[in-house]
């Protein structure tokens, strides 16, 4: 005696899994296009006589972050999950005219990957650039 439940075949399970995979892919594509507008990408210059161009770039979708000085990578991180709401990256640039550069990124508590994350750049303690 059966309870009105038809035996399922393995092909039905594969169809359900294929539909779930398609929904997941479509959702990821939509999230990518929504979050790429909120990527942080800005450049600022440090120094008077010895000038250096510093570029900060971060993808909200993938969590990849890169800081370059004159095109050379200085800091590379993958921040997919992070518990501190504020992250600081500090380094020194220049040979004859040295400067301490600090970049501070603050993320929102909830749904951070969907919202813009303000970034501030400090050179020798003075605020020189912001991005939000």
Query: 18-49: per-residue pLDDT in tens?
Result: 999 999 999 888 877 777 777 788 899 998 88
Model confidence at 69: pLDDT above 60? yes
What CA–CA distance (Å, rounded) separates 44 from 54? 5
At CA 69, angle to CA 66 and CA 75, rounded to 5? 35
DSSP state, residue 8 = P
User: Please, are residues 119 and 105 in contact by the beta-carbon 8 Å criterion?
Assistant: yes
Token pair belonging to 104: 């501070």
Q: pLDDT tier at 78 (50, 70, 90 boundaries)?
A: confident
Model confidence at 100: pLDDT above 90? yes
Model confidence at 68: pLDDT above 90? yes
DSSP state, residue 70 = T
Q: What pLDDT score was predicted for residue 8?
A: 60
For residue 109, how far is the Cα from the chain centroid?
15
Among 34-38, 76-80, 119-123, the range with the most confident prediction by mean pLDDT is: 119-123
In the block, tokens 């479509």 appear at 26
Q: What pLDDT score was predicted for residue 5?
A: 56
What CA–CA distance (Å, rounded) separates 44 from 60? 21
59 versus 92: which is more confidently predicted? Answer: 92
Q: What pLDDT score was predicted for residue 111?
A: 73
Token pair belonging to 7: 């035996």
């Amino acid at each position: 005696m059966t309870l009105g439940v038809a035996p399922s075949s393995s092909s039905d399970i594969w169809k359900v899994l294929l539909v779930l995979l398609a929904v997941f892919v479509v959702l990821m594509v939509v999230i990518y296009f929504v979050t790429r507008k909120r990527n942080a990408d800005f450049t600022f210059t440090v120094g008077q006589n010895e000038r250096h161009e510093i570029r900060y770039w971060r993808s909200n979708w993938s969590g990849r972050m890169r800081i370059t000085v004159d095109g050379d990578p200085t800091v590379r991180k993958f921040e997919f999950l992070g518990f501190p709401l504020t992250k600081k990256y500090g380094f020194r640039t220049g040979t004859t005219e040295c400067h301490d550069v600090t970049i501070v990124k603050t993320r929102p508590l909830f749904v951070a990957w969907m919202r813009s994350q303000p970034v501030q750049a400090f050179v020798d303690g003075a605020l020189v650039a912001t991005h939000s």
